[in-house]
Amino acid sequence: MLLIAGLLLLALGLLSGVVLVLAPFGVLAAQAGYTLWATFPLLCLLGFSMLAMQAQPAQVRVVSVVSSALLLALALASITALVLAAAALIPAPAGAGSLWFVLVIGVLLGSVGAAAYSRRADACNRPCRRHSICDPAR
């Protein structure tokens, strides 16, 4: 039950981020209100936390990598929109605050999620003394 609820909350958080990116350009009829600003980071964190409590480590890893990639893609979309609008290649957004917010939150959460499963942590499948991360005594 926590797996499904966590995935749904994570998806709703990511959807909030998508709306925050698209709304300033008038692509969606929605407005980027305070609810979306709050639900984007909070639902992403809450959904992942609920999922991580119940899921197997392999499932947590997959969800972490996928959600990190989606968060970083949202951050890249927002900075691309900001740069293109600044260069007058696309119409200026109604308000750039939500784009900056998605950029900062997307980079922070996305990079933390991606770094949690670095290649160095995967280097060892059993405890060893070569890497401090693999040494159970540390």
Whether residue 130 is contained in a domain is answered as no
Residue 122 pLDDT greater than 60, yes or no:
no
Instruction: Flag whether 128 is in a domain.
Output: no
pTM: 0.79
**Structural domain total, the chain:** 1
Q: What is the pLDDT of residue 127?
A: 58
- pLDDT tens-place string over residues 62-106: 888 899 999 999 999 999 988 988 888 877 777 788 889 999 999
**Boundaries of domain holding 28:** 2-119
Query: Does some domain include residue 129?
Result: no
Domain presence at residue 80: yes
Q: Does the residue 105 lie in any domain?
A: yes
**125 assigned to some structural domain:** no
pLDDT digits (tens, 9 = 90+) for 10-41: 999 999 999 988 888 777 777 778 888 899 99
| Tokens of residue 42, six digits | 């909070």
Does residue 131 lie within any of the structural domains?
Answer: no
pLDDT value of position 128: 60
